[in-house]
Structure 1
Amino acid sequence: MCKSDRELMDSVPIFSWDDVRKHTSKDDAWIVIDGMVYDVTKWKNKHPGGQKIIMNQAGQDSTDAWMAFHNDKVAVSKYLRPLCVGRLDPSENKQTELMKDFRELRAKVEKMGLFRASPWFFTFIMAHILLMEFAGWFIVYYFGTSWTALFVASLLLLCAQAQAGWAQHDYGHHSVFNSSRVNKFIHIFLLNFFKGVSSSWWNYRHYLHHGKPNTIRKDPDIRLEMFFLTGKVLPVEFGKKKKGFMDYSRQHQYWFLVLPPLLLPLYFHYEVPYFLWSRRLYVEMFWMASFFVRYVVMFKPFLGVGGALLFYLWVRFLESHWFVWTTQMNHIPMDVEYDGDLDWVTSQLKATCNVEQSLFNDWFSGHLNFQIEHHLFPTMPRNNLHKAAPLVKSLCKKHGLEYQCKTLFGAMKDIVESLRSSGELWYEAYHM
Structure 2
Amino acid sequence: MMFEEKPEGNGSLVDENQLDLGAKHQANRKPAASGRAKLPARQEANAKCGLPRKSISMYTWQEIQRHNQETDQWLVINRKVYDVTGWADRHPGGRLVLNHCAGEDATDVFRAMHPDPDIVQLYLKPLLIGELAPKEPNQERNKNSQLVEDFQELRRTLETLNMFNANLGFFFLHLAQVLILEALAWVIVWHFGSGWLITILISFLLTVAQAQGLFLQHDMGHLSIFKKSKWNRLMQVFVIGHLKGFSAKWWNNRHFQHHVKTNIYPKDPDVDVGPFFVVGDLQPVKYGKNKVKHINYEKQHLYFCTVGAALFVPVYLNLDSIRAMYCRRSWEHFFPQDIAWVSSFYIRYFITFGPFYGIFGTLVLIYLVKLLESPWVAYVTQMSHIPMKISIEEKQDWFSSQVLATCNVEQSFFNDWFTGHLNLQIEHHLFPTMPRHNYHKVAPLVKSLCAKHGLPYVNKPILKAFGDIIRALKKSAALWMDAYYSHPET
2:292 to 243, 251, 254: 243
Q: What percent of counterpart residues are identical? A: 43
**Equivalent of 2:472, from 410, 418, 425?**
418
The correspondence for 1:166, drawn from 193, 204, 215, is 215
5+ long unaligned stretches in structure 1 = none
| Aligned match of 2:420 | 366
Q: CA deviation at 1:290?
A: 1.6
Task: Give the 3-state SS of the residue equivalent to 1:92 in structure 2.
Answer: coil
| 3-state SS in 1 of match to 2:395 | coil
Judged with a 3 Å threshold, the aligned counterparts in structure 2 of structure 1 residues 118 and 231 are, in CA distance, closer, same or farther, namely: same
Whole-angstrom distance in 2 between the partners of 1:396 and 1:168: 30
For the residues of structure 1 that align with 2:127 and 2:355, how far apart are their CA atoms?
Answer: 58
Q: Secondary structure at the match of 2:208?
A: helix
Residue type at the aligned position of 1:68: A
Kindly indicate whether the alpha-carbon contact (under 8 Å) linking 2:7 and 2:53 is maintained by their aligned counterparts in 1: no
8 Å CA contact retained: 1:69, 1:378:
yes
Give 2:320's match in structure 1, choosing from 271, 291, 311: 271
Deviation digits for residues 148-186 of structure 1 (CA, Å, limit 9, x no counterpart):
211111111111111111112111112422332212101
Distance 1:10 1:44, change over 3 A: closer
Matched, 1:388 2:421: no
Whether the 8 Å contact between 1:175 and 1:381 is mirrored in structure 2 is no
Partner-residue secondary structure (3-state), 1:223: coil
Shift of 1:311: 1.1
- Per the TM alignment, residue 9 of structure 1 is displaced from its structure 2 partner at its CA by 12
Using the TM superposition, give the Cα deviation of residue 366 of structure 1 relative to its aligned residue in structure 2, in angstroms. 0.7
For 2:448 and 2:196, the matched residues in 1 are separated by 52
Q: Residues of 1 paired with 2:136 and 2:54: CA distance? A: 16
Equivalent residue for 2:24?
Answer: none
Name the structure 1 match of 2:34. Answer: none
Change (3 A) 1:244 1:300: same
Residues 3, 81 of structure 1: 8 Å contact kept: no
**More helix, by proportion:** 1
Q: Which residue of 2 aligns with 1:20?
A: 64
Q: Does residue 1:44 correspond to 2:88, yes or no?
A: yes
Shift of the alpha carbon at 1:258? 2.8
Name the counterpart of 2:396. 342
Structure 2 counterpart of 1:31, from 54, 70, 75: 75
Q: Contact 2:5/2:54 (CA < 8 Å) preserved in 1?
A: no
Task: Return the match for 2:430 from 376, 395, 400.
Answer: 376
Distance 2:471 2:6 in 1: 52
**Structure 1 equivalent of residue 47 of structure 2:** none
One-letter amino acid matched to 2:119: A
Cα distance between partner residues in 1 of 2:146 and 2:380: 34
SS of equivalent to 1:30: strand
Q: 1:149 aligns with which of 198, 209, 213?
A: 198
In structure 2, distance between residues paired with 1:377 and 1:330: 16
Residue identity matched to 1:385: Y
Structure 1 position 59 matched with structure 2 position 108: no
Aligned length: 430
Partner of 1:307: 361
Report the 3-state secondary structure (helix = DSSP H, G, I; strand = E; otherwise coil) of the residue aligned with 2:74: strand
The correspondence of residues 78-117 of structure 1 with structure 2, limited to 5 A, is 78-94=122-138, 96-117=145-166
Question: Does residue 291 in structure 1 map to residue 345 in structure 2?
Answer: yes
Alignment check: 8 A CA contact 1:172 1:183 kept: no
For 1:393 and 1:209, the matched residues in 2 are separated by 22
Q: Deviations over 1:173-218 (max 9, x none)?
A: 1242233221210111111112211111101101111110111121
Give, in whole Å, the separation in 2 of the partners of 1:429 and 1:269. Answer: 33
One-letter amino acid matched to 1:232? D
1:4 & 1:221 partners in 2: Cα distance? 42
Select 1:328's aligned residue among 382, 391, 395: 382
Structure 1, residues 118-150: CA drift from partner, whole Å, max 9, x if none?
122112111111111111111211122222211
Q: Mind listing any 5+ residue stretches in structure 2 that lack a counterpart?
A: 9-51, 140-144
Q: 2:236 aligns with which of 182, 187, 197?
A: 187
Q: Give the drift of 1:361.
A: 0.6
CA distance in 1, matches of 2:320, 2:201: 30
Counterpart AA for 2:59: F
Write the letter of the residue equivalent to 1:238.
Y
* Residue 224 (str. 1) matches residue 273 (str. 2): yes
Paired AA for residue 306 in structure 2: L
Give the 3 Å change call, closer, same or farther, for CA 15–304 of structure 1 in structure 2.
Answer: same
Following TM superposition, by how much is the alpha carbon of 1:74 offset from its aligned partner in structure 2, in angstroms?
2.3
- For residues 3 and 237 of structure 1, the distance between their equivalents in structure 2, rounded to whole angstroms, comes to 52
- Give the TM-score normalised by the residue count of structure 2: 0.85
TM-score, scaled to structure 1? 0.96
Q: Deviations over 1:264-294 (max 9, x none)?
A: 2223332211111112223311221121111
Compute the displacement of 1:39 (Å): 0.8
Q: Give the match for residue 463 of structure 2.
A: 409
Compare 171-180 and 331-340 and name the one that shifted more.
171-180
- Larger displacement relative to structure 2 (410-419 or 41-50): 41-50
* Higher deviation after alignment, 275-284 or 90-99: 90-99
